[in-house]
Chains A and B, each alone.
Chain A
Amino acid sequence: MDSVVLIKFVPDLVEDLEIDPQSGLLDRSFLRLMPNELDDHALEEALLLKERYGGTVTVITVDTGDVDEALYTAVAKGADRVVKVTGEGFDQGVTDRELASIFHEVLRGMPCELILTGTQAVDDLDGFVGAMLAERMGLPYVGYVTKVESQDGTVIVRKEYPGGLTAEIEVATPAVLGIQAAEKPPRYVVTSKVMEAMKSGSIDEVEAPDVSVEDGVTVSRMSVPETGARAEMIKGSVQDVAAALARLLRDRGVIA
């Protein structure tokens, strides 16, 4: 089973996100980017498929800045080929629509049975890359996938619905899958293995093809939601907070 995994870099949500007062949009100057978490699950699922059925795993990302380490990490985890798509202005961000069309062009020379990516990325706004790519390529798409099994020319995927309900759906390959969670937590690799991959492995660099995309939605302003707008905050030491909470819960009759 030859599969391709698409990785999008997104803001690290552990960091404070700031709005640039000039543009009214996310301030990208100090933004730390990381691979979208669900894309990491997509990579894990692809690696599990390789272990189970053989074949190869190719990882592609668009160079929005500092992507090499993630690509070498993918190699250390077992990816056979990693591809970085470079282009001007990518550090200013690439819209989902543009990403889908860039991936589409790059994938033209890369026959594969499955294309896996995260169901969505945390900063998606003008679409989901996997779903848009599938339509561009004329391939079927299923998202919210948590398990993939191969069965002569088709895959049986487990799709997640609310309330813990799931469904089995059969899809003819080639197909695009949006992964919600891999069957197992994404594997961890030690830094020494990543260093080894950096020394011996190589990243294929591909120049971004020219793409033209239809107009998507635009953003006129971004803002940080008022938090703490509602919660009454308890201050003080851990002991003070614990005592105050216990008292509060007793007063409310929640605990004895």
Chain B
Amino acid sequence: MTGQVCVVVETLRGEVTELTYTMLAAGRRLADALHTKLAALLIGHPCAKLAETLGAADRVFCVDHADLAEFNPEAYLRVVAAVFEKQMPRVAMFGHTAMGTDIACGVAQRLKLPIAVSCRTFSADGAEPQYSALICGGKIIAEGPLPAPHCLVTVMSGGYKADEGRVRKTPPLETLPVPARLDAVRTRFKQYIEPPAGDVDIAKQPILVSVGRGIQNKDNIAMAEALAKAMGGVVSGSRPVIDQGWLPTTRLVGKSGKQVKPKLYLALGISGAPEHAEGMRDAEFIVAINRDEKAPIYGFAHVGAAVDVLELVPALTEKVKAR
């Protein structure tokens, strides 16, 4: 994989994650533009079956060991760094996720290579391939070159369609020996903890009234509840609202929470940062209410109004009730 484009595959509970296919889509295009090959580096146990789902890659390299069955930041970092030390790709792609971000920077630091995080798209029209990253809560696009000879990136969703990275083809599989000592690892995976059950599943609701920082305080949640009730939907929220304890974690929409595709997603006081967008961008109909006309959410909402959320919600509740 030396000099090629390489996607570091992410698996969770024995399944390849959705974002991996987004990375494969990105990687395929970049590799083609650079006239090189696309490699996938798969770490886990067992690997063979998973490799069959990575048809977008020209070749899958795997490191298969029982101690790597579940993600372990320290062990995975050692393995990836050791593999790349021997054969370093031109561009190595990691997920901008709980897994990829744990190891990408460590690998970059260990190999003394540059890294660009929060990347969404890549291009290779000119002399040097370029990254385009979305930072500052989706308010700033930063672009620059992917420095030669080697560079690492973390990739977020939104730039490429994951379906493009799903190719029905079994790529050649090359099993690599475990390149690093795993017995000295100071980090140990203990167990998964299931999300709390018993609450409504927001991923199955046709109407979501979703509240963000703009709802201002816990008491105002009741207002959103009333609107949701009138519409026949339920209330969900973005990260700051959940972190404040105004809504339970089961109601979180976004990267760490649920991916939702309701018939209506009414975003109240939500700015539309990439982490949130990742969970709701595919909703059938997105209505956004946010006083900030420059809020990133207006870039992908269908309908918007830059009015005060706290004034609009009771007014809209009235209109919905009055038929």
- Seen from chain A, the residues whose Cβ lies within 8 Å of a Cβ on chain B are 10-11, 13, 16-17, 26, 37, 41, 100, 119-120, 122-128, 131-132, 134-136, 140-144, 156, 158-172, 175, 178, 180-182, 184-185, 214-235, 238-239, 241-243, 245-246, 248-250, 252, 254-256
| Cβ–Cβ < 8 Å partners of B147 in chain A | 215, 217-218
B193/A166 in contact, CB under 8 A: yes
Which of B1-9, B50-58, B310-318 has 4 or more CB atoms under 8 Å from chain A?
B310-318
| Cβ–Cβ < 8 Å partners of A119 in chain B | 101
| Cβ–Cβ < 8 Å partners of A217 in chain B | 114-116, 131, 144-147, 151
Decide if B59 is an interface residue (CB 8 Å cutoff).
no
Check A228/B109 contact, CB under 8 A, given A126-B114, A165-B195, A234-B304: no
Partner of B312, one of A165, A241, A250, A256: A241
Decide if B92 is an interface residue (CB 8 Å cutoff).
no
B144/A144 in contact, CB under 8 A: no
A228/B293 in contact, CB under 8 A: yes
A/B interface sample: 26 pairs, CB < 8 A: A26-B140, A124-B118, A131-B103, A135-B105, A135-B109, A143-B73, A143-B102, A162-B255, A165-B12, A169-B189, A170-B188, A182-B243, A217-B115, A218-B145, A225-B134, A225-B140, A228-B299, A230-B300, A234-B304, A238-B308, A238-B311, A241-B305, A241-B307, A241-B316, A245-B316, A254-B285
Q: Please count the residue pairs between chain A and chain B whose beta carbons lie under 8 angstroms apart in the complex.
A: 292
| Cβ–Cβ < 8 Å partners of B67 in chain A | none
| Cβ–Cβ < 8 Å partners of A10 in chain B | 136
Chain B residues bordering chain A, tally (CB within 8 A): 104
A124/B135 in contact, CB under 8 A: yes
* Top 4 A-B pairs, shortest CB-CB distance: A164-B195, A131-B105, A246-B319, A242-B315
Having A172-B186, A220-B143, one finds 10 other A-B pairs with CB under 8 Å, namely: A119-B101, A125-B116, A131-B104, A141-B73, A162-B257, A224-B294, A230-B301, A241-B305, A246-B319, A254-B206
B135/A123 in contact, CB under 8 A: yes
Which residue on chain A has the smallest CB distance to residue B74? Answer: A140
Partner of A41, one of B144, B195, B243: B243
Which chain B residues in 236-254 approach chain A with CB under 8 Å?
239-240, 242-245, 249-250, 252
| Cβ–Cβ < 8 Å partners of A167 in chain B | 70-71, 189-193
B194/A165 in contact, CB under 8 A: yes
Which chain B residues in 74-117 approach chain A with CB under 8 Å?
74, 77, 97-98, 101-106, 108-110, 112-117
Q: How far is the CB of B223 from chain A (nearest CB, A)?
A: 13
Which residue on chain A has the smallest CB distance to residue B146? Answer: A217
Which chain B residues in 164-212 approach chain A with CB under 8 Å?
185-196, 206-207
Decide if B33 is an interface residue (CB 8 Å cutoff).
no
A219/B298 in contact, CB under 8 A: no
A168/B191 in contact, CB under 8 A: yes
| Cβ–Cβ < 8 Å partners of A227 in chain B | 293-299
Which chain B residues in 273-296 approach chain A with CB under 8 Å?
285, 287-288, 293-296
| Cβ–Cβ < 8 Å partners of B109 in chain A | 100, 127, 131-132, 135-136
